[in-house]
Every structure is written in C-alpha cells, then in structure tokens.
C-alpha cells in the first residue's frame, strides 16, 4: 500500500472522534428509539416467529460483540463465554423467579414493557451481568497470566465446571409456600438441576433486548476508540512491546475479561427470560461457547461490525436453511469453511465495515 | 552530579551460562552512551534486565532514586525508562498514529466510564493525545503516514516510529537496541543526527546498542564494551577504539580462542 494523501484528513473525520452527533449520550437515545420502534412497530408487524428471531439475534450480537473484547481486542483465546452466560442467566433468573414468588405469590409477568415486573427484570439483568463479571474477575485474575492454549483450556474448564455445578442443583419450588420455606442460600441451590430451570417469567422483549444491544455496541465501540481500546489492541499485537510502553498487560487483560463476562451475563439473563426458554445447563455448555467463538472469528477478530454481522448471519442462517432439512448443518459448515478459505482474517479483519472500501477511502487505524 | 540511571553490579545466569556478570553503568541526564560488544556478548540481555523483561539475580537498578529491582516492565516504563527493540516490535495492524497513542497511555487520566460516556473531559484528552502524537510523528518525518498500518511502513520508517513511540511514554532514559540495523549509509547518517536531536530536544539520556562502529564512535560520548557478559572496557570512543582488549575481543587473539576474556585483563 502506498501513502495516501487522504489518510491524515480522513483520520480527523473518523466517526469516533469527529461527529458531534456521537458526543455524549445521543447514541444511547437513538438506540432507545430504535428499540422502541422494534417493540411497537416492527414486532407486531412481523409476528411472533420473526420477533423471536430478532430477540435471538440481539442476544447473539451481545454475546459475539462482548467475546470480541477478549478474543478480538486483546487476542486472548477464551472458549468459556457460555459459562459466563450461564452464570448471568441463572443469577438473573433466580432473582426474578424467587422475587416474584415472594412478592406476588407466583411467577407470572407483572405489568407491561415498563411495568414493575420489567423493572425487576432489568435490575436482574444488571445483577446477572455483575455476578458474571465477578466470576470473570475470579477466573481471569489467575489464568490471564497464562497464554494461548492454556487460557483456552482454563476457560473451557470454567464453562464445564459451571455446567456441572448447575446440574447438581435441586428442583425449583413450584408454589409460593414452598419458595417461602427456603432460605436465600437454599434458593441458590434450588435451580432446577439437569432438568432445567422452568417457570422464569417471560419478561424478555424486543425493547429491552435491543436496549442492551445498544449498550453493548456503544461500550465496545467507545472503548475501542479510547486509551483502553488501544491498550487492549496493543496486547494482541505485541504483548512485550505493549508492556514496554507502560501498558500493564495483566491488568488490561483482566479488565477485558470482566467487561466481556458482564455482557455475557446480561445476554444470559435476557435468554433466561425469553419466551420458550427452559434454562438448561446443557444448552449453555461448550457447544454454545464455540458458536460464539465462530461468530467472532467469522466477523474478524477485533471488528465490532464484523462480530455483529456474523452474529446476525449465524442466527438467521440455520433458520433460513430449514428448507434444506437434513443437509442444513452440512451447508452451514461448508459456508463457514468457505469464508475461512476466502477470508482467513474474517469478514472485516480488525477494521470496521465503514473503514473498508467501498464505504470509505483509506482511514486512520 | 548524581546519576539519573544507576545500575550496580547486576548479574544474570541462564542455568550454567553467565549471560551478564556484575554489570554497572551510570547515566546522567542528557548523556549519550554506547554499549557495544561482539555478537552474544549480552548487550540485549542488559536491556532486558533494565526494562524488567528479565529479573537480575543480583545487583540494583535505580532510576532517579527509585529502586526498579523486580518491577514489571510496565512499571519501569511508567518510571521513565523506555526502549526500542532489536527485532522491531511495532503494533503491526494498528495505524502509525495509534502506535504512538498506545504509548501515550501513561499520560491518559480519564476513567473507563468517562470513555464510555464520552465526557467532555475524555474528548478533550483524546484530542490532546491525538495532537501530541501527530506532532511527535511530524517531528520524526512520519506526519504524512499517520493513517497507514505500521506493518506497511518501509524499514527505516519503522525504526523511526519505534523511537517516536518510545518517546511518547515521556521517558527520562531511552534505550535504543541496534537502531541502525539494516539501514543503508544515508539512513545511518540521518539516524546519527536524529539520535543527537532526540537527546537535545527531549532532554533524555540515551543508551545505545549498536554494531555499526562508525555510528557509535560518532554519536556516543562514552562507551562500555561487553564480552561474554563481562565489561571489558569503558571510556571515550578514542580510548575504547585503541584498547587492545577490545580489539582482541572483536578480532580474536590466537591464545584466547574459544575462551572468555579473563577477569584480570579487564581495564
């Protein structure tokens, strides 16, 4: 590549730094409006099947974009993302389920999109995220001194430990009286075991999912464009040089890990409250982790738009291929292999879609 | 005058191999010193010890009175000791600008929440960092390549970018590991001017590892010679150039073949 006279100027016009429109909280408001539009206009128009698909897409976008912070930005290799999803999902699910039992005598949904039940639900999502983040910190602190394969094994092990522990829990109480008889500690051990946690109220809807998608995307993007993001990326590029430039690599890796775990926990919480979900440890095992890793790799390690588009594609594709019946998974796998042969760096590599031709002439980064 | 960087008697062994024995050096502010020696003499190992990549078995490293023994590299960089690498270690996929901005990391103060909410403080800081990094790159003649991926720069530019990046950490002492490696004579001439310029403009003390004797003799005010991890000579370029022990270490003497330089022959 040759030096481009545009490089310097375009750098100053990057959406991240320049556009006053992205300043402060405006994008959060835009995301809120879009989420509301999905909830009240798109959702009713497309019907329950496609609404459910849009919710699944949202959850997978959160998962892929958050894992991208670890696997893409810092270049570590975590394959335990579903473990954090499970931690967050169970924590949030238990919180809404038991609170509903104690407060309202049953797990029925209370109020509408902005009702009291939804307030509980959103709080539970945040709590789920925080519990997962704490788990991420506990796992990350000792293991992020390890590199590459070793870290992968530790995270895989973590996911499996979570799954096995959840399978050992006892049945959830079905009535309010049974629930009242349990102490808080006992509640934490009554999560349905291997049969799954059924009865979690179905609070998840398009509005709240896409609010959290907005939050995830903005946090991921703004971190990437800040000192923190550059420190993350420098670790992936050259850990020794990063450390020599004053980047405390262990600390930043733990930070990335905790952020990723938080959003995985939120995604787990949204999944737990989705219509039709019976939270089951098996569903949140390492196969789910691999699905998320595939989204990140396919999108391009480090690219937020790449991870987003890959998450959309890989959620829609299996549904779209239902017509192919038995050949579905073969076609799916072949497509993945093909993309990896044609674009081994993923769809967008480290860049964002608007940084690539034909959307932009060469830009800074 | 008190020394800025004071290294006393550091040693490091890899198993039975003494990579560095009893190495001492003192740099005052604005010093420009050279560290030379045949291949495998332990020069880069000394740099790795100073920057915390390796931990010395013995001895002490102090920077501006601060004890750096056992500190990790990021702490040492924060204390004011920056380096370049013999085998260039740029952040290849990142832009030239971002390579420097990573090193500005130490001067960034806003919190993660500030970055996520894009507070005005954060935006102001980002703008200041960008301006600073751009200015630094302009000084190094890389002002028109800020948007380019670092891996696509020509070799000489990569070397200069490494120096610019190291300076962005606001060091007190700069360690340059073979900056002239792979450069042609014109580039080398420009580099020696650049090294002096960096010292004068940024007021840093520089310790330079270099194989190109012409360059070392031209820019360095003091030279330390290592062989097999042992300091065999120290002095001005003229003194070192004419030291028989140094000549022997480089060219070899029949009686000394295969062995190290005996301790009693240290000057």
**Could you read off the pLDDT of A256-274 as tens digits, one per residue?**
999 999 999 999 999 999 9
pLDDT tier at B267 (50, 70, 90 boundaries)? very low
Residue A279 DSSP symbol: B
Q: Mean pLDDT of all residues in chain B?
A: 89
Give the chain A residue whose CA is nearest to the CA of B51: A244
- How many residue contacts between A and B have a Cβ separation below 8 Å? 145
Two tokens at A21?
């429109």
pLDDT tier at A361 (50, 70, 90 boundaries)? low
Q: Does A249 touch chain B (CB under 8 A)?
A: yes
- Better-scored residue on pLDDT, A334 or A266: A266
Domains of chain B (ranges, CATH numbers): 1-80+170-267 (3.40.50.300), 92-168 (no CATH)
Give the chain A residue whose CA is nearest to the CA of B129: A227
pLDDT tier at A325 (50, 70, 90 boundaries)? low
Domain parsing of chain A, residue ranges: 19-285
Q: Give first-to-last CA distance, chain B, whole Å.
A: 24
Q: What residues contact residue A323 under an 8 Å CB cut-off, 6+ apart? A: none
Q: Is B260's pLDDT higher than 80?
A: no
Determine the pLDDT at residue A56. 96
Q: Is B224's pLDDT higher than 80?
A: yes
Determine the pLDDT at residue B109. 83
Q: Mean pLDDT of all residues in chain A?
A: 88
Determine the pLDDT at residue A276. 86
Smallest Cα distance from A16 to chain B, Å: 10
Q: Which of B73, B126, B127 sits opposite A243 (nearest CB)?
A: B73
**Could you read off the pLDDT of B42-96 as tens digits, one per residue?**
999 999 999 999 999 999 999 988 999 889 999 999 999 999 999 999 999 999 9
B contacts of A6 (beta carbons < 8 Å): 147
Interface of A with B in 25-54 (CB under 8 A): 25
Q: Is B87 helix (H, G, I), strand (E, B) or coil?
A: coil
Q: Is A29's pLDDT higher than 70?
A: yes
Crossing angle of helices A249-272 and A43-67, rounded to 10°: 150
Q: What residues contact residue A306 under an 8 Å CB cut-off, 6+ apart? A: A298, A299, A300, A346, A347, A348, A349, A352, A353
* Interface mutation target, options B54, B63, B68, B74, chain A, most CBs of A under 10 Å: B74
Least confident of A35-44, A89-98, A145-154, B2-11: A145-154
- Better-scored residue on pLDDT, A323 or A237: A237
**Could you read off the pLDDT of B157-182 as tens digits, one per residue?**
999 999 999 999 999 999 999 999 88
* Interface mutation target, options A11, A227, A228, A365, chain B, most CBs of B under 10 Å: A227
Q: Which of A219, A243, A363 sits opposite B116 (nearest CB)?
A: A219
Smallest Cα distance from B149 to chain A, Å: 7
A contacts of B123 (beta carbons < 8 Å): 17, 23
Two tokens at A159?
């996911």
Residue A172 DSSP symbol: P
**Could you read off the pLDDT of A155-211 as tens digits, one per residue?**
999 999 999 999 999 999 988 899 999 998 899 899 998 889 999 999 999 999 999
Q: Is B226's pLDDT higher than 90?
A: yes
Q: Is A6's pLDDT higher than 80?
A: no
* CA–CA separation, B59 and A173 (whole Å): 66
* B90 to A238: CB separation less than 8 angstroms, yes or no: yes
* B92 to A238: CB separation less than 8 angstroms, yes or no: yes
Cβ atoms of B69 and A214 within 8 Å: the answer is no
Give the helix ranges, DSSP H, for chain A: 6-12, 26-37, 43-67, 81-104, 116-143, 148-167, 176-180, 184-189, 206-224, 227-237, 239-244, 249-272, 286-299, 304-320, 328-342
Residue with tokens 């733990």: A254
B contacts of A4 (beta carbons < 8 Å): 147-148
A contacts of B152 (beta carbons < 8 Å): 1
Q: Is A358's pLDDT higher than 80?
A: no
B161: nearest Cα among B87, B95, B96: B96
Q: What is the mean pLDDT of residues A20-43?
A: 84
Q: What are residue B60's DSSP bridge partners?
A: B8
Residue with tokens 């990021």: B74
Two tokens at B141?
């003649």
Q: Which of B117, B127, B169 sits opposite A245 (nearest CB)?
A: B169
Least confident of A99-108, A310-319, B251-260: B251-260
Smallest Cα distance from A252 to chain B, Å: 12
Determine the pLDDT at residue B262. 46
Q: Which of B103, B118, B146 sits opposite A24 (nearest CB)?
A: B118
Smallest Cα distance from A188 to chain B, Å: 31
* B77 to A11: CB separation less than 8 angstroms, yes or no: no
* CATH class, range A19-285: mainly alpha
Q: Is B255's pLDDT higher than 60?
A: no
Q: What is the mean pLDDT of residues B178-190?
A: 89
Q: What are phi and psi of A320, to 5 degrees?
A: -65, -30
* CA–CA separation, A232 and A221 (whole Å): 12
**Could you read off the pLDDT of B134-153 as tens digits, one per residue?**
999 999 999 999 999 999 99
- Better-scored residue on pLDDT, A349 or B141: B141
Smallest Cα distance from A100 to chain B, Å: 32
Cα B221–Cα B225–Cα B227 angle in degrees, nearest 5: 170
């Amino acid at each position: 590549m040759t030096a481009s006279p545009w490089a310097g100027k375009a750098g100053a016009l990057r959406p991240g730094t320049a556009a006053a429109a992205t300043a402060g909280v405006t994008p959060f408001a835009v995301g809120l409006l879009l989420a509301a539009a999905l909830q009240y206009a798109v959702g009713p128009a497309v019907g329950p099947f496609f609404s459910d698909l849009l919710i699944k897409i949202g959850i997978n976008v959160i998962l892929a974009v958050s894992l991208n912070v670890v696997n893409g930005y810092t270049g570590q290799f975590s394959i335990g993302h579903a473990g954090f999803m499970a931690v967050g999902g169970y924590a949030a699910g238990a919180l809404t389920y038991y609170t509903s039992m104690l407060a309202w005598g049953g797990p029925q949904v209370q109020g509408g999109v902005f009702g009291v039940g939804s307030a509980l639900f959103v709080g539970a999502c945040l709590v789920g995220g925080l519990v997962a983040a704490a788990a991420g910190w506990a796992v990350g602190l000792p293991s992020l001194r390890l590199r590459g394969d070793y870290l992968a094994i530790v995270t895989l092990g973590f996911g499996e430990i979570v799954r096995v522990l959840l399978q050992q829990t006892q049945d959830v109480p079905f009535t309010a009286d049974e629930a009242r008889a349990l102490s808080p500690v006992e509640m934490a051990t009554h999560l349905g075991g291997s049969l799954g946690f059924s009865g979690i109220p179905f609070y998840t809807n398009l509005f709240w999912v896409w609010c959290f998608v907005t939050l995830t995307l903005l946090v991921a993007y703004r971190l990437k464009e800040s000192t923190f993001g550059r420190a993350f990326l420098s670790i992936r590029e050259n850990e020794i040089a990063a450390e020599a430039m004053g980047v405390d690599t262990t600390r930043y890796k733990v930070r990335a890990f905790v952020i990723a775990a938080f959003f995985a926990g939120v995604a787990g919480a949204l999944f737990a409250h989705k219509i039709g979900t019976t939270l089951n440890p098996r569903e949140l095992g390492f196969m789910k982790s691999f699905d998320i890793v595939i989204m990140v790799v396919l999108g391009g390690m480090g690219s937020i738009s790449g991870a987003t588009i890959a998450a959309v594609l890989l959620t829609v594709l299996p549904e779209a291929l239902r017509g192919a019946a038995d050949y579905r998974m073969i076609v799916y796998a072949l497509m993945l292999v093909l993309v990896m042969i044609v674009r081994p760096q993923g769809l967008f590599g480290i860049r964002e879609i608007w940084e690539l031709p034909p959307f932009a002439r060469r830009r800074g980064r | 005058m008190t020394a800025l960087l004071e290294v006393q008697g550091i040693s490091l062994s890899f198993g039975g191999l003494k990579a560095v024995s009893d190495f001492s050096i003192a740099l005052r502010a604005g010093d420009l010193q050279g560290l030379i020696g045949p291949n495998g003499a332990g020069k880069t190992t000394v740099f790795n010890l100073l920057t915390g990549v390796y931990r010395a078995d013995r001895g002490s490293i102090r920077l501006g009175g601060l004890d750096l023994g056992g500190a990790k590299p990021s702490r040492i960089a924060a204390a004011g000791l920056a380096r370049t690498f013999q085998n260039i270690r740029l952040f290849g996929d990142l832009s030239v600008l971002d390579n420097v901005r990573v090193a500005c990391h130490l001067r960034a103060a806003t919190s993660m929440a500030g970055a996520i909410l894009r507070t005005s403080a954060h935006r102001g800081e980002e703008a200041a960092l960008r301006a600073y990094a751009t200015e630094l790159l302009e000084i190094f003649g890389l002002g028109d390549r800020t948007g380019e991926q670092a891996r696509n720069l020509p070799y000489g530019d990569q070397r200069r970018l490494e120096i610019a990046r190291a300076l962005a950490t606001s060091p007190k002492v700069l360690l340059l590991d073979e900056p002239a490696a792979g450069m042609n004579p014109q580039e080398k001439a420009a580099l020696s001017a650049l090294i002096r310029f960096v010292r004068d403009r940024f007021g840093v003390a520089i310790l330079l590892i270099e194989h190109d004797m012409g360059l070392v003799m031209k820019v360095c005010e003091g030279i330390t010679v290592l062989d097999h991890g042992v300091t065999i000579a120290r002095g001005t370029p003229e003194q070192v150039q004419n030291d028989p022990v140094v000549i022997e270490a480089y060219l070899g003497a029949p009686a000394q073949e295969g062995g190290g330089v005996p301790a009693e022959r240290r000057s």
